[in-house]
Structure 1
Amino acid sequence: MKQYIAIALLICCTSLIKSQNIEAFLIPQPKTLEIKNGQLNQQLNTQLPTEELYQFLKSLCAFDYVGQITHFTSPYAQHSISFLLDDSINTNDAYTLDIDSASISIKAKNLAGLYYGKQTLQQLISYSETTQQNIPALHISDAPDFERRGYMLDISRNKVPTMESIFKLIDLLASLKINEFQLYTEHTFAYKNHKMVWEGCSPITPEEIQIIDLYCKSKHIDLVPNQNSFGHMENWLRHDEYLHLAECPEDCKTIWGMRKRTSLNPVDPKSLELMEELYAELLPNFSSKYLNIGCDETVELGCGETKEICKEKGKGTIYLEYLIKLNNAANKNGVESQFWGDIVLNHPELIKDIPTNMTAVIWGYEAEYPFETNLPKFKDAGLDFYVCPGTSTWRSLIGRNKNAFENQRRAAFYGKANGAKGYLNTTWGDYGHWQPLSVVYPSIMTGAAYSWNSDVDPKLNLENQLNTYVFKDKTGNTAKAVLKLGNAYLKAEIPSGNANAFHLMLRRYAWTMNGQYQTKHLKAKNLDKANKEIDDALTILNDASPSADSLTVIDELKHAADMAKHGIMLGKARLAAPKKSTENISRAELEELINDINIIIENHQKLWLLRNRDGGSQESLGNLNDLKEYYQEALNKK
């Protein structure tokens, strides 16, 4: 008897020790994880084979099965597996997961909760398969901090992903317990009467949206249509046929300088008529009860056609009146509207007048964005609202991870404290959508983790989780390299902003360095430090072995790093040139820059097509070609 007790104690103690790194495999972290004595598949102190059981569990988790099954693993042992709905659980999407030596039980209030419990179970299986340890007996009680946990991808700034890419992204989001997905569109939906706007852009078709919607529903994700309806209409207004709808048909002086053709004229009835037509065609392809109508960054408002009426009634009032008209148009199509909250924050006295069936999406993408100040303004008005941080990957080439992670953490903390309904993590594609998907993965995962459990720091186990669930790299080096690249921008030591030094150089090649609040702080020694950090990351990447999209991931990361290093090369050359001007760079350096940019342009086109449709690639490449031409013109003057 003493021998059996000793063996049992040894097994239990071993299980407890080896289970201590389970958290490294769980994303998002459950609210409660209690490790108990014993382990799954432990019968009479004998470790039974688990491969058959795990394969069965994986297949069972692949669909919305509800019920109880007895599964035999040998003639001498059996397992009871139950996935049950339980009305005693009070919160939608919450679940409990219990495992002992011979049973697995997941209970939830709704099917989505069961689905999320199964995602956690599959991560436990990954833990067991990776560490070669049995899953310990345990109890998990879990529930999300936010009812709506979303991710938004910009598909209007050049990159429109292939259907295969969209499906793979949805799979990842579902595994992270995301339940809302938005594809941000300005002109990349194939509206039947507006071919001029989307022709050559490889738009998403109505039939494709219907397929994506069904796929999302199978993963308990709500595909929310997102059509900007006020500002950011430049891809429409660039065409003369729509110019009569513009707030500024010609240059207007705005807070962003001279601008034109980006915003609709909100007092022209034909602007509303256009959006009503678009909504009527767009919305039947979605099953969601929501529509994101956009309405952000309307910087032209009051500077052109509405200048006089804005002086008379107030710019905020004109904005709100049009916002309400758009909401009514959405309501007529049976949906409720979401809108970006930035503009109305300039007129906080009007927030109380926003219809209560609208949801404000409060976005801010810098680490220090004052969610704590802005959220109560919507809460006090009785409105539903989301917090909206970002991945900080646009205008970065290789990421700004430190900024992203802190931005996401603060959004979650203050969103939860103020009762936000949702958390929407965003990826934008400003100025060519040059960043590849591979550098976005870390901040997709951290954003998802914070939206479920805002009390746990997801960075602690991020490297392991990226390698396990995204890159599938047993060497661990892919994630290590990605995370190192994503913080290389810090070595440049310039003030924070919505771009890093590498992208700033590629974008601002014709503008003064001293006249911009970030670039005026650039120093060659700091660019050298950043360059070394990137090279160190590439050395790590050379020893990586990702099995998921392996060639795509490696090539994408090397290309992004090459672009960043080109920005460094240009930055150093400018710092040494008279007046820090690109035109004054030496002949030898210009020739080197031209040779380097030629390689980058060639790789950019090739890699674009691995995940994205061709439409938009030429516009994105055009920004690089413009830089090359600027070099060539400067060289020709030598």
Structure 2
Amino acid sequence: MMILPKPRKIIPTDGAFLVPSLWKIALIENDNLSNVVLDILFDWQKASLSEANLILGISRTILPIEGYRLSISPTKIIVEGADRLGVLHGLATLKQLDCHPTIDCQIIFDDPELPVRGFLLDISRDMIPTLRSLKQLVRWLWLCKMNHLELYVEGFSLELPLFPDLNVDHPLTMAEYLELEKYAEVFGVDLVPNMNTLGHMTEWLKLDKYRHLAECESGYLLFGYPFPPSTLNPTDPESSRLVKQMITPLVEKSKSGFFHLNADEPFELSQGKSKAVCEKKGLGCVYLDFLLPLFDWVQAHGKQPIIWGDVLANHPEVLSRFPQSVIVTDWGYDYDHDFETPVARYQAHHIPFLTAPGTSSWNSFASRRHDMLLSTVHAVKAAKNHDGLGILMTDWGDFSHPQPFVVSLHGLVFAAACSWRECDETNDFSDWMDQYIFIEEEKKGIAEILKNLANYSLLEPVLMSNQTLLFASWMYVDNDPTHPLALKAQVWKDALTKHPLYPPYSTQIQTLITDTRAQLSGRSSLVSKEINAVLNLMELSLILNEMVNQAIDRREQANTLIQELLLDSDTLWLHRNKPHGLAKATYRLKVLSEFLQNRDLI
């Protein structure tokens, strides 16, 4: 039987343990293990040592941090942890073993190779999970022995108590956040507060009250396309005051010892109000001068700051000034991303760091499995080679988060396995996922379906950075309702001509879509419906690409797919997520429908 992550050492012994219908559990020096965990895992009652068939306790012998020893004899099971987390990890292993009537007797010795094994979920690109969904995520992280969770916040996806005048539709409330933090702590998962603080400030800078704080109030160009202001002016003291006011509730209320300030992708920095000072001092120095007082303020509240490393990677000259108490996270989501070079610099300057690969679910509909696997393997190796703290697996939601979370689960599981015990891109955990993640599926094989669908990027003529060709049909839809439809259509068509899909590549992708539909036949679960929606998005995008680049008119079929997607959108979205962002996400479909209805446009 596969145990995930793979244990360090298993010693088989004689006999078998008969799994009881009622567990009798004795807690030794571990009374702070919450009944919530035991209630979810077992039908159980508290027992004395002599009566117990399951004994949980802190080990009296030396075990590595978060390590555990799981001893299974014919009459009882003993879980000993180096600490509370070790006991929880031992229980996660036991839960994978007790799904059969008997468990072979054995002794398992286990501990993680990296101290931080994290997952970041983007809740700020329109899709905000319900508290129920987030608690399910926590339980999956516990089962995979991950210990760090971040909910990425930019804009107003999290309730901000110090800004009562903001009119936000269904954010994650502060009460829900704190309830999730408490729930995560029970399962040994640190819910680390996260809020962007320099770049990615678009929603704030749209407001008249704060627009004057923008580095470039008129916006900026990126890849030849205009974007609204997204970066604060770091030379204005009011920018720093706004950031502190934004993050104060999380800094004061969160129990985590970390705070992720992000501070990534300040695209306009040095292009506007800070241009003169950047030319004089250097962009890296201006960037760091803005952050240093913020670091001190966060640390004064007992939290260790975390930031992304993209600016530092491009400006290594400031590393000698960078505080050794702040964690830098190097991110990269393509199969060939170089983690080694930047983290070697951090190691040389005694700067603690994480590496951040990605599920690569975003900008792809179904994930880019090849990139996910290799970016994760390289991230883990770089962290281990250079004494890093660990990894932070990221799951973003660019362009209104059209992909359901299920397409990200392979990435979550693979990251968990690799960060606990090294593995490589050949490892396939589909069978394990069917057993422990997709437990409500009537038929096995759903994880294999998701895995195969995530390989569609390999059917395209080129491997693109951080996206697929197919996604262009969605990505380049202008979702600003104030822009003229004809302008939207022209920009969209121009973009698609730069991302063509011709036979045999388009034919191969269509075959994959058709074959996957056949594999879903007879399934009626929520997951199968979510996969079907992914297939509809993929086929719609393929048809639209053909219409623009091959002058093939499949207007009727495209409209049918759009109507089906719109019809199912409420049910599928609201089953796992809050209403927030649903209208914005489906607006792209409505724009595409308008294109199709007007033959002068397409």
Confirm or deny that 1:40 pairs with 2:22.
Answer: no
Structure 2 counterpart SS, 1:471: coil
Confirm or deny that 1:604 pairs with 2:581.
Answer: no
Match of 1:81 in 2: 54
Amino acid at match of 1:604: S
Distance of 1:336 and 1:174 partners within structure 2: 23
Within the candidate set 311, 320, 340, 2:288 is matched to 320
Structure 1 counterpart SS, 2:114: coil
Where do residues 581-592 of structure 1 align in structure 2 (5 Å cutoff)? 586=553, 589-592=554-557
C-alpha displacement of 1:246: 0.4
Match of 1:28 in 2: 5
Within the candidate set 364, 379, 387, 1:396 is matched to 364
C-alpha displacement of 1:168: 1.0
Match of 2:21 in 1: 52
Structure 2 counterpart SS, 1:40: strand
Match of 2:433 in 1: 466
Match of 2:519 in 1: 540
Provide TM-score, normalisation by structure 2. Answer: 0.90
* Aligned 8 A contact 2:8 2:111 in 1: yes
* Aligned 8 A contact 1:256 1:299 in 2: no
Amino acid at match of 2:158: F
Confirm or deny that 1:192 pairs with 2:166.
Answer: no
Within the candidate set 139, 157, 163, 2:125 is matched to 157
Distance of 1:609 and 1:336 partners within structure 2: 35
* Aligned 8 A contact 1:450 1:458 in 2: no
Distance of 2:601 and 2:393 partners within structure 1: 47
Amino acid at match of 1:323: L
Within the candidate set 152, 155, 166, 2:134 is matched to 166
Structure 2 counterpart SS, 1:83: strand
* Aligned 8 A contact 2:22 2:45 in 1: no
C-alpha displacement of 1:114: 0.7
Instruction: Deviation per CA, 1:533-570: give whole Å up to 9, x if none.
Output: 122122112245xxxxx632121111111101111111
C-alpha displacement of 1:253: 4.9
Distance of 2:578 and 2:182 partners within structure 1: 21
Match of 2:32 in 1: none
Amino acid at match of 1:36: T
Match of 1:628 in 2: 593
Confirm or deny that 1:416 pairs with 2:384.
Answer: yes
C-alpha displacement of 1:300: 0.5
* Aligned 8 A contact 2:359 2:412 in 1: yes
C-alpha displacement of 1:62: 4.6
Distance 1:256 1:624, change over 3 A: same
Distance of 2:388 and 2:48 partners within structure 1: 36
Match of 1:482 in 2: 450
Distance of 1:507 and 1:439 partners within structure 2: 18
Distance of 2:39 and 2:54 partners within structure 1: 10
Distance of 1:540 and 1:305 partners within structure 2: 56
Structure 2 counterpart SS, 1:360: strand
C-alpha displacement of 1:519: 1.9
Distance 1:61 1:430, change over 3 A: closer
Structure 2 counterpart SS, 1:178: coil
C-alpha displacement of 1:40: 2.4
Within the candidate set 278, 281, 289, 2:246 is matched to 278
C-alpha displacement of 1:325: 2.1
Where do residues 14-413 of structure 1 align in structure 2 (5 Å cutoff)? 22-23=1-2, 26-41=3-18, 50-52=19-21, 59=38, 62=41, 69-71=49-51, 81-126=54-99, 128-129=100-101, 134-187=102-155, 188-195=157-164, 197=166, 199-253=167-221, 258-413=226-381
Distance 1:66 1:248, change over 3 A: farther
Structure 2 counterpart SS, 1:300: coil
Distance of 2:372 and 2:206 partners within structure 1: 33
Amino acid at match of 1:117: G
Structure 2 counterpart SS, 1:288: coil
User: Comparing 620-629 with 299-308, which one deviates more in the overlay?
Assistant: 620-629
Amino acid at match of 1:315: L
Distance of 2:436 and 2:63 partners within structure 1: 30
* Aligned 8 A contact 1:477 1:541 in 2: no
Confirm or deny that 1:565 pairs with 2:539.
Answer: yes
Distance of 2:434 and 2:469 partners within structure 1: 28
Unmatched 5+ residue regions in structure 2?
Answer: 27-36, 478-489
* Aligned 8 A contact 1:481 1:538 in 2: no
Distance of 1:86 and 1:65 partners within structure 2: 22
Amino acid at match of 1:552: L
Identical-residue share of aligned pairs (%):
26
Amino acid at match of 1:462: F
Instruction: Deviation per CA, 1:468-499: give whole Å up to 9, x if none.
Output: 11112463221221112111232223223211
Structure 1 counterpart SS, 2:77: strand
Instruction: Deviation per CA, 1:32-81: give whole Å up to 9, x if none.
Output: 1222333224xxxxxxxx3436697995885999997344xxxxxxx753
Larger proportion of helix:
1
Structure 1 counterpart SS, 2:525: helix
Provide TM-score, normalisation by structure 1. Answer: 0.85
Distance 1:535 1:196, change over 3 A: farther
Match of 1:442 in 2: 410
Instruction: Deviation per CA, 1:288-309: give whole Å up to 9, x if none.
Output: 0111001011111000111111
* Aligned 8 A contact 1:189 1:203 in 2: yes
Structure showing greater Rg = 1
Amino acid at match of 2:315: H
Instruction: Deviation per CA, 1:429-456: give whole Å up to 9, x if none.
Output: 00010000121111111111112112x3
* Aligned 8 A contact 1:70 1:81 in 2: no
Instruction: Deviation per CA, 1:551-595: give whole Å up to 9, x if none.
Output: 321211111111011111112222312xxxxxxx64xx2343233
Within the candidate set 556, 559, 563, 1:594 is matched to 559
Within the candidate set 501, 506, 519, 1:527 is matched to 506
- Aligned residues, how many? 577
Distance of 1:491 and 1:81 partners within structure 2: 50
Distance of 1:610 and 1:250 partners within structure 2: 39
Instruction: Report the aligned-residue RMSD.
Output: 2.6
Distance 1:66 1:321, change over 3 A: farther
Instruction: Deviation per CA, 1:380-404: give whole Å up to 9, x if none.
Output: 1111111111100011111212211
User: Comparing 624-633 with 367-376, which one deviates more in the overlay?
Assistant: 624-633
Amino acid at match of 1:125: D
Distance of 2:72 and 2:221 partners within structure 1: 65
* Aligned 8 A contact 2:497 2:549 in 1: no
Amino acid at match of 2:437: V
Distance of 1:113 and 1:167 partners within structure 2: 21
C-alpha displacement of 1:191: 1.4
Amino acid at match of 1:86: S
* Aligned 8 A contact 1:254 1:303 in 2: no
Instruction: Deviation per CA, 1:160-216: give whole Å up to 9, x if none.
Output: 11111111111111111111111111121211343555x344212221111111101
Distance 1:148 1:53, change over 3 A: same
Structure 1 counterpart SS, 2:105: strand
* Aligned 8 A contact 1:146 1:452 in 2: yes
Distance of 1:596 and 1:319 partners within structure 2: 46
User: Comparing 314-323 with 252-261, which one deviates more in the overlay?
Assistant: 252-261
C-alpha displacement of 1:97: 1.3
Unmatched 5+ residue regions in structure 1?
Answer: 1-21, 42-49, 72-78, 545-549, 578-584
User: Comparing 83-92 with 233-242, which one deviates more in the overlay?
Assistant: 83-92
User: Comparing 242-251 with 400-409, which one deviates more in the overlay?
Assistant: 400-409
